[in-house]
Structure 1
Amino acid sequence: MFKKILASVGIGGASVDTQLVDNRLQPGQIFHATIVIKGGNVSQQISGLDLALLTKIKVSDDNENYFKNHQLASWRLTESFEIKAGEIREIPFAGKLHPETPFTLLPVRNNQCQVWLQTGVDIDTALDPNDVDVLEILPTPVAEHVLNAMDSLGYVLFKADVEQGFLNTRAFSSTSGCYQELEFKPRSMGFNAVREVEVSLVCEAEQTHVLIELDRGVRGDGYQYFTLSNEASFGQVLEAFKANIR
């Protein structure tokens, strides 16, 4: 009875561990994992097992900025079952990252982008054990071309974050409820020069949409948007940015 009481408050209860084959991924990529559930000191009824893809987003509300977790995708792995004391149960799983998953491996010091998988076990009358696995999200090939094109045009990436909201233009819209913002500044500032460029990408299976916000100083702000094929070469990406940053 004492062991059951301890398990009911999370001591000596079941635990869960998600073991990823590879934690370095790209948006839209399929990942593989094994979810290992270990029984505690007593048998317990597990109501279900869930896996969620999460990121941290910046929320702007009434002139106040704060961060909160945002769910990009979730998967129901199992329904109710019993895990016996000391039992080890393994569940193989394959999932696909949301195509708008933010990049986290970026060449910038002020990088506020985080992405992780969180596994949760619903255990009747017990605290929910959780397992967190940080993901390293690589830019897609066309996104790498975007970063290199901005560098070639004389702009330095100085900040990256993820913000709450949707991107909507006449040509495309985002779907995840958040968007990544890559902020660039020119290496040198000339008269009437663009002071800052904010780039957001909406990745899809065959193409990547681009939204650019330009801070032109006394000339005012401006927006440009266009779409790149995911097979676009660096030269094609460079020409597209040259035509739209002005």
Structure 2
Amino acid sequence: MDAESERVLFLAKVTEFLTAALPGATVMEMPSAVGEDAVSLAGYDEADVRPALDVVAALDGVLRADGWETVRSSDGETEGLNVAKEGVGGGVFGVRLSVISFTGIPGYGNPEPEPEPVPDSDAAPDGDARRTLSAEIRAAITSAMPGAVLTRDVFEADGSVRIAGSDPESGRPPGDEDWNQELLDKAGDHLAAHDWQVAPDMWNGASSDRTAWISKPGLADGRLDASGGLTFTGRVTPSR
């Protein structure tokens, strides 16, 4: 099954759980800051005024009945439910009065496939460089988030690359600025210890996202973004 088919099935499954717990909800898919493979949904039913704890209990019940592992959390305003099922996906539900939100990633627990091969051309990044870059960025991500779920690496023929991961069980939302800074600092420290140059972006403005510019001569350069997870977007620059 390709990544898009896996994502579509995961989206349908999450929608099924959401509407089982909030039957009258209008459900919308939302843009996700976690990555292209991620799923973000919001369901709203103003007529459903059950306490958030009651809705979480209903959600917990349908998930457990389908074999999902669940862990409850709360920040005092939102009741959370961290969920995961081997080979299906993982993520976090957030429940408030009349509203359920979800952010997660399909394929939780699946072995990560090797990067897709790119066509042979002068512009195609060297295979050894791809493997080295993937290993080093993934190690940086997991150093910041030991429980990270890594999405499929994307390597393009022109040398551009995207490597990303997040921890669906962290219970921390993408908009948590302190969490994003902590992730960026930990990953940056790991990269610096492995000969990467790390320069935090001082122009994040009002955004809660945190960004650093990173580079390693003869390997790659680009941006490392922290927004509930970590995403590297850049370009492979192998030695010739």
* Shared fold, TM over 0.5: no
Greater strand share, structure number = 1
Bin for the TM-score computed over the shorter chain: under 0.3
Greater helix share, structure number = 2
> Normalising by the residue count of structure 2, what TM-score does the alignment of the two structures yield?
0.26
